[in-house]
Amino acid sequence: MSQRGLDALLRPKSIAVLGASNRPGRAGYLMMRNLLDGGFSGPILPVTPRYPAVCGVLCYPDVASLPLTPDLAIVCTRASRNLGLLAELGQRGCKTAIILSAPPAHFAELKTCAHGYGMRLLGPNSLGVLAPWQGLNASFSPVPIHKGKLAFISQSAAVSNTVLDWAQQRAIGFSYFIALGDSIDIDVDDVLDFLARDSKTSAILLHIEHLSDARRFLSAARGAARNKPILVIKSGRSTQAQRLLNYPQGRDAAYDAAIQRAGLLRVRDTHELFSAVETLSHMLPLRGERLMIVSNGMAPAALALDELLSRHGKLATLTPASCVALQATLPDPLLASNPLNLGDDATPARYHAALSALLDSHDYDALLIIHAPSAAAPSSETAQQVIDLAKHHPRGRQVTLLTNWSGEFSSREARRLFTDAALPTYRTPEGVVTAFMHMAEYRRNQKQLMETPAQPADITADAAYAHRVIQQTLDQGITRLATHEVRSIVEAYGMATLPTWIAIDSSEAVAIANRIGYPVALKLRSPDIPHKSDVQGVMLSLRNGREVELAANAIMDRVAQAYPQARIEGMLVQSMANRAGTQELRIVVEQDPVFGPLILLGESESDWRQAGQMAVALPPLNMALAQNMVRQGLKKGAIRNHRPLYPLDITALSRLMVQISNLLLDCPQITHLDIHPLLACGSDMTLLDISLELAEFHGDPEARLAIRPYPQKLESRVTLKNGEQCLFRPILPEDEPLLKQFIGAVTAEDLYFRYFSEITEFTHEDLAYMTQIDYDREMAFVALRQDGTESTIIGVTRAYSDPDNIDAEFSILVRSDVKKLGLGQLLLEKMIGYARGHGLKRLTAITMPSNHGMIALAKKLGFSVELQLEDGIVALSLLLASELVDIADTPTSSIVQHAAKHRHNP
């Protein structure tokens, strides 16, 4: 379905209300009343045979009688009439409809009907849409809404009403307020794509209960979060709450991992949700994480400090010069420090003097000002001092200012003053620190997205061997493998294991132990006993043959008593690993119903029933992502660095996580992997016990992943006109240094042709955006000249597709000193082939009239070329699917308008 339909929903030019009514309390009456009171400027068309007019507006008896085709139809009738009315709207050419109510049994029929007519549906069971900048209140909400820069998306009508009521009391405005309902068609990802392009929206607050398409959500969220902060609250953290919501749910920790991976920030509860709304409404970009706390009492400052430290925040350290300047504003016995206590007798003048001295300092990044009710410092007067200082001091708008005016009655006016001055204000010290940490964590997530990963050069994989072993195993009907059977597969990916042998009985176990040397470990093999500990099926540190014999017989006796019907497949005999000074970890790969394969990391002895006992990541992983996963595990206590003799080697463990990710990507037959334990000893990572579960897999192996991995199948080798071999492959995040060198070798004229402006330097952020791409929505091919182990980029072509995967805007840049070798044509042919294979319908671009080489190449490859004299550009367009008349008939001028928005995009 088309993203274009969302314009008709969120920026409609005409609206029909089906089931309009004059009876107060009816849905059709409330909808008409809200549309009229909201100030919508376009035609409002009530449809009902019952009345000649509703709310003073002329009615039409049915859809066929409407004088024009509405952009948006709101269906307020009883559920049994929905399907018939939807078909009438579709036949009339209506683009979007809001279904206010429908039982789940009708969902599939409604969606099929709408899709058949190319309509988009919001709902069913949606509260509706509010867009105050358009004067649009197409909702049941009785609460008026202010204009603002914050967009709110929710899957819950109850949560939507609560937030609306709360925001009204605090005069917080919105650009859009969208209640999705059951999201049978228009979903979170569609709306995120729209809001990412909306000029009135500067930040997005998202409430979700479930996801229907994890990959589309992550792609849309990642794209939107590159330009706008997005905060998420997710209902259903516990298993019981997930059952209550009655949607397919996965691990809550997987949502955490996905939200962080996309560069969003998650808030945990409604209290944090309201703090987040306040933060987003007034948030300035945070330049760092050092917090300075000022209070008129030590107790409120201590509450703020406790909250800061519990959330791993950073307290600023004042330099001696700042302390001297600050001390001059304080009476004895108060001391300049952080937190700074101004005393319970602090006057507005003392606040002003101390804050003036602090604003002259660069020792902090954010300034938290706390005020407890005080006769010496009246709330409103003190607040006004802070507002005036922030307004007139040279650094007043450069520093992130946060305020906490405690109390209720006495501080109400002060908080209103702060709101009017666009300064964030909160009721409690803990609340303001929570808000600050939202900003800090969001900054960290965005910074993580920009990290340049480095793939370890020594990571190797023999995927063909692993595939062969796995397929042979499945052909034999075997789906569960133990350590000795998995060993060759994991070693093919460079992972270290302990040598393992199988013994049929106690005498064979003794013979193996004598051969490999003592001490040894003995472990039961039985597919019917999942937990060996139930029968003490693991015996360690056996020092001689007699101990091995007794241990083996004892295990068999316990099994015979506890599980007399269990199948016994002998015992594993291993040399005892030296565990002195080592750390025992556990790594698990499991399948999540929402996000697909997950990689989990934690301590070996943990039972992992709580989310905090593991770190979770979505594959694919590179070193930067793996290191972040390990650090997150350390931060939340899922793993501990508590071996002073051999401290945990984060780099070595991260390398192992990348190897496991690679194994998982290459072998879609793996449904479950459990390494328990992993012995970590310095840089040595030894897989001690491994279990693996397999299943036949058919179809696209990438489809099971929430994040599309590097598409290696798109690599190819080409020959240039001079006979030189060149590798064409998709761009990698690790290519950032090579891309920087490439751009440095391109002439200023060629850069001007490409970017339509004079560019002297690309920042790290620019290069990160160009190399860390979402392969689902964007593609960039680099042409690599390879000389031994050295690689050099000599050309790049890229294409950005729209969210509907219909149009893609392409660009091409060849190094200035390697022209006339046919590289540009080969790169563009590569992109055309990719676009067709990816299902795109049209490739477009804009260039300058003076770029004769690009224009000639486009004509040669079949592009239409249109000179736009007014804009001073040339529009290029190649239709990839000629049967799509609606695409072919789209004016080239609209392509130009779309492409012009991105002409400076790296």
DSSP string, 772-790: S--TTTEEEEEEEEEETTE
Look up the CATH number of domain 455-498+577-706: 3.30.470.20
| Mean predicted confidence (pLDDT) in 52-62 | 97
Q: 166: part of which helix (H) or strand (E)?
A: helix 157-169
| Mean predicted confidence (pLDDT) in 4-30 | 93
Strand order in the sheet with 72-75: 44-47, 15-18, 72-75, 96-99, 120-122
Alpha-carbon gap, residue 666 to 622, rounded angstroms? 15
Confidence category of residue 835, pLDDT binned at 50, 70, 90 = very high
Alpha-carbon gap, residue 197 to 577, rounded angstroms? 57
Q: What is the structure's pLDDT at 331?
A: 93
Q: What is the structure's pLDDT at 893?
A: 41
Question: What phi and psi values does residue 707 have, to the nearest 5 degrees?
Answer: -125, 125
| Mean predicted confidence (pLDDT) in 107-129 | 94
Q: And the tokens for 904? A: 């400076």
Q: pLDDT tens digit string along 864-895?
A: 999 998 888 999 999 997 544 344 344 444 44
The answer, yes or no, to whether the previous bond of 709 is cis (omega within 30 of 0) is: no
Q: And the tokens for 416? A: 């209103």
Question: What phi and psi values does residue 487 have, to the nearest 5 degrees?
Answer: -50, -45
Confidence category of residue 896, pLDDT binned at 50, 70, 90 = very low
- The whole-chain average pLDDT of the chain stands at 89
| CB-based contacts of 416-419 (< 8 A; 24+ apart in sequence) | 417/380, 417/383, 417/384, 417/387, 418/383, 418/386, 418/387, 419/170, 419/171, 419/172
Q: pLDDT tens digit string along 687-702?
A: 988 999 999 999 999 9
Select 509-568's CATH number: 1.10.287.370, 3.30.1490.20, 3.40.50.970, 3.40.50.1100: 3.30.1490.20
Strand partners, 295: 341
Helix (H, G, I), strand (E, B) or coil at 279: helix
Please, are residues 264 and 221 in contact by the beta-carbon 8 Å criterion? yes
Q: Which distant-in-sequence residues (6+ apart) come within 8 Å of 341 by Cβ?
A: 295, 296, 297, 298, 301, 334
Confidence category of residue 660, pLDDT binned at 50, 70, 90 = very high
Look up the CATH number of domain 284-449: 3.40.50.261
Nearest Cα neighbor of 259 from 306, 313, 298, 204 is 204
Identify the DSSP state of 614.
Answer: -
| Mean predicted confidence (pLDDT) in 853-874 | 92
Q: Has residue 275 got a pLDDT over 80?
A: no
Q: Which DSSP string corresponds to 66-90?
A: -SS--SEEEE-S-GGGHHHHHHHHH
Q: pLDDT tens digit string along 772-811?
A: 999 999 999 999 998 877 899 999 999 999 888 899 999 9
Please, are residues 854 and 861 in contact by the beta-carbon 8 Å criterion? no
Other CB atoms closer than 10 Å to residue 386's CB: what's the count?
27
Higher-pLDDT residue of 708 and 375 is: 708
Q: pLDDT tens digit string along 460-477?
A: 889 999 999 999 999 999
Secondary-structure class of domain 5-280 per CATH: alpha beta
Superfamily of domain 712-901 in the CATH hierarchy: Gcn5-related N-acetyltransferase (GNAT) (3.40.630.30)
Q: Has residue 906 got a pLDDT over 60?
A: no
| Mean predicted confidence (pLDDT) in 598-626 | 84
Confidence category of residue 346, pLDDT binned at 50, 70, 90 = very high
Query: Where do the domains of the chain lie?
Result: 5-280, 284-449, 455-498+577-706, 509-568, 712-901
Q: Has residue 611 got a pLDDT over 70?
A: no
Please, are residues 467 and 782 in contact by the beta-carbon 8 Å criterion? no
Q: What is the structure's pLDDT at 4?
A: 64
| Mean predicted confidence (pLDDT) in 191-213 | 92
Other CB atoms closer than 10 Å to residue 303's CB: what's the count?
18
Q: Has residue 898 got a pLDDT over 60?
A: no
Q: What is the structure's pLDDT at 429?
A: 95
Strands 520-524 and 716-719: unpaired
Q: What is the structure's pLDDT at 269?
A: 77
Q: Is 790 exposed, middle or buried (0-12, 13-18, 19+ CB in 10 A)?
A: exposed
Confidence category of residue 19, pLDDT binned at 50, 70, 90 = very high
Q: Is 284-449 the same fold as 5-280?
A: yes
